[in-house]
Chain A
Amino acid sequence: MVNGGLAPRERMVLRAAREIEEGETVFVGTRLPLLAYLVAKDTHAPNAVALYENGLIREEAARELLFTMGDPPNILNATSASTTLDVMGMMQAGRVDLGLLGGAEVDRFGNINSTEVEDESGRMTRLPGSGGAADIASLARRTVVLIPQEARRLVERVRFRTSPGYGDGPGFREREGLPPGGPTAIVTTHAVFRFDRVIAEGYLYEIFPGVTVDHVLVGMSWSPRIAQPLGMTRPFSVEEISSLRRIDPEGFWTGGRG
């Protein structure tokens, strides 16, 4: 096992890939979520099906690196090339098992911000916005969030709720009229958080090999409950690592090699 040589974002992508179960229908967000899906497809979940917000349904992996979901290799040999309305509608009808999402901030209730952030001096940075994220977080049967373990990213409360998790706590989704769904995991560069249905809050479930609880806690702005016993992520296999590096050979998406 060569886990020591992995870049932080490579670990995050590899661990997130394991959240996808064989045969599931996955609504795939762009960038790192897309990479995680492709790794799962290439390793343990060859029959997973992808829906993309530009209207694609895809069962066969694209044969080269994608920079966007609309790149020509993602169209070639897609199962269906339809519309945004069509695939989003299928998700609203409950046909999507899992949505994979990134974001700039995620909070203890699993809400995601990809609209705007503020630094310590109060200066606002505008981000691109929801894209399909708000829809995926609303309508998929469950979601998994990928986000680097940084205190400015794992926040007590998101500045702007672009995509709904469990809102302000238990009962939120039902009260607002959202389908049950919601996040089942936050996968970071260091750890995995899962959600306690009763308190609707993320708790530290598992840490990566070589990471301590302190590493995790300094990289977040709220104090999570910690699973007893705390899990340890199974080391990434040569097969998983070589799959990721075959899909993204230059480290374009994961920020190079560790």
Chain B
Amino acid sequence: MPLGEAIERFVHPGAAIVLGTCLEQMIPFAATHEIIRRRIGDLSLIGPVSDICFDQLIGAGLARRVMGAWVGNVMMGSAYCFRRAVERGEPRRIDVVEFSNFTLALALHAAAIGAPFIPTRSALGTDLVARNPYLEPIASPLGGEPILAVRPLHPDTAIVHVQRADAHGNGIMWGSLGITPDAVRAARAVIVTAEEIVAPEQIRRDPNRVVIPGLVVSAVCEARWGAHPSPVQGYYRRDHEAYSEYHRVTKTADGYGRWRADWVEGVEGLGGYLRRLGNERVASLIPIDHHFPEPVDYGY
């Protein structure tokens, strides 16, 4: 399915969407930019250590809430659109539901496995609890000791980027998975963007590497380079320059506006984005050496 159509069909105004589930890799930037082009707003953004995809949506005024553990630029630190929104209500005020990475993983895990809640010993005695309705300090029903009950969190839509998927959305990934397996099982709809669409037979030859089962997926879209500037293992490296440039130019709202006009609104989809990036820069990010593990034998 074309990416634009998938976003139109499965990301609705007011939706709670989870993205950036691998923390610092495989961030679905092409999908993020498509949401911005289509001005789908009032979103709740769910993510662990979320990359600048959150900052870009917040700067565009499309988010009303963040439910996450960390909002910033994973390479450079501060995310300025997020800061302007929280500190000054610009371009609009946003609420922050404060999670830690583990409590967010547990909230999605609870949803993924249909558990009424999951108890943990993490984040007790922190100020996160008062700013997060999903975290409830309770007495253990078994021993009476204090524990933290984490409520299930069901995103409306999960957007994930993978190396390979088939037309049914069965997705093969390698690298750092973060909270991806639980995020896609917790969400009501899942959009998979993939570097390559491959035949189902190819997926089935390596079932242990299938992180996303197609049965939870709503749409699968081919998006070569769709995670740039974040890295995709085996496909491209992190584009350090893009992270430091974003950090530099988005210090002001005007600068962010120019960035968005240049890189999102002023380009035609992912193809236009890559043309703007230029062949030379794209070529500079392709792996220069390769590391293949030994093949495994599923024979019997």
Interface residues of A (CB under 8 A from B): 30, 52-56, 67-72, 74-77, 81-85, 88, 92, 115, 123-135, 138-139, 160-164, 167, 172-173, 175-179
Interface CB pairs A-B, < 8 A, 7 = A54-B25, A70-B23, A115-B127, A128-B71, A132-B69, A176-B124, A177-B148
Interface 0/1 of B93-135, CB less than 8 Å to A: 0001011111101100100000000001111111110000000
Q: A68-B74, A129-B71 are in contact. Are A178 and B124 (CB under 8 A)?
A: yes
**Complex interface: chain A residues within 8 A of B181 (CB):** 83, 85
* Given A164-B125, A177-B125, A177-B145, 16 further pairs, Cβ under 8 A: A55-B176, A56-B176, A69-B176, A70-B25, A75-B174, A85-B102, A85-B179, A128-B70, A129-B68, A130-B69, A132-B100, A134-B102, A138-B121, A139-B102, A160-B127, A175-B146
Q: Which of B36-44, B231-239, B265-273 contacts A (4 or more CB under 8 A)?
A: B231-239
Q: Decide if A135 touches B74 in the complex (CB within 8 Å).
A: no
User: Bound complex: CA of A134 vs CA of B230, how far in Å?
Assistant: 25
**Complex interface: chain B residues within 8 A of A127 (CB):** 78
Closest A residue to B182 by beta carbon equals: A85
B238 interface neighbour in A30, A72, A164, Cβ under 8 Å:
A72
For the A-B complex, the count of residue pairs with Cβ-Cβ distances under 8 Å equals: 188
User: Bound complex: CA of A84 vs CA of B230, how far in Å?
Assistant: 19
Q: Secondary structure at chain A's binding surface: helix, strand, loop or mixed?
A: loop
Q: Decide if A84 touches B127 in the complex (CB within 8 Å).
A: no
Q: A83-B181, A135-B102 are in contact. Are A176 and B125 (CB under 8 A)?
A: yes
Q: A71-B24, A125-B83, A129-B98 are in contact. Are A138 and B233 (CB under 8 A)?
A: no
Q: Decide if B124 touches A125 in the complex (CB within 8 Å).
A: no
Q: For chain B residues 173-208, which have a beta carbon within 8 Å of chain A?
A: 174-182
User: Bound complex: CA of A75 vs CA of B174, how far in Å?
Assistant: 9
- In the assembled complex, B61 has its CB within 8 A of some CB on chain A: no
**Complex interface: chain B residues within 8 A of A161 (CB):** 125-127
Closest A residue to B140 by beta carbon equals: A177
**Complex interface: chain B residues within 8 A of A69 (CB):** 23-24, 176
User: Bound complex: CA of A133 vs CA of B48, how far in Å?
Assistant: 12
Q: A71-B231, A130-B101, A176-B146 are in contact. Are A92 and B122 (CB under 8 A)?
A: yes
Q: A70-B74, A172-B125, A179-B121 are in contact. Are A135 and B146 (CB under 8 A)?
A: no
Closest CB-CB distance, A258 to chain B, in whole Å? 21
User: Bound complex: CA of A176 vs CA of B79, how far in Å?
Assistant: 33
Q: Decide if A53 touches B180 in the complex (CB within 8 Å).
A: no
- In the assembled complex, B86 has its CB within 8 A of some CB on chain A: yes
- In the assembled complex, B9 has its CB within 8 A of some CB on chain A: no
Q: Decide if A81 touches B174 in the complex (CB within 8 Å).
A: yes
Q: Decide if B98 touches A125 in the complex (CB within 8 Å).
A: no
Closest CB-CB distance, A122 to chain B, in whole Å? 12
Interface 0/1 of B65-81, CB less than 8 Å to A: 00011111011011100
User: Bound complex: CA of A76 vs CA of B233, how far in Å?
Assistant: 9
**Complex interface: chain B residues within 8 A of A53 (CB):** 23, 48-49, 101
- In the assembled complex, B22 has its CB within 8 A of some CB on chain A: yes
Q: A55-B176, A68-B74 are in contact. Are A164 and B182 (CB under 8 A)?
A: no
Closest A residue to B125 by beta carbon equals: A176
Closest B residue to A177 by beta carbon equals: B146
A115 interface neighbour in B98, B106, B122, Cβ under 8 Å:
B98
Q: Decide if A134 touches B122 in the complex (CB within 8 Å).
A: yes
User: Bound complex: CA of A243 vs CA of B178, how far in Å?
Assistant: 30
User: Bound complex: CA of A83 vs CA of B126, how far in Å?
Assistant: 24
Q: Decide if A167 touches B125 in the complex (CB within 8 Å).
A: yes
Q: A128-B72, A128-B79 are in contact. Are A135 and B100 (CB under 8 A)?
A: yes
Closest A residue to B85 by beta carbon equals: A126
Q: Decide if A130 touches B124 in the complex (CB within 8 Å).
A: no
User: Bound complex: CA of A113 vs CA of B177, how far in Å?
Assistant: 27
B126 interface neighbour in A55, A56, A88, A162, Cβ under 8 Å:
A162
**Complex interface: chain A residues within 8 A of B23 (CB):** 53-54, 69-70, 84
Q: Decide if A83 touches B74 in the complex (CB within 8 Å).
A: no
Q: Decide if B177 touches A81 in the complex (CB within 8 Å).
A: yes
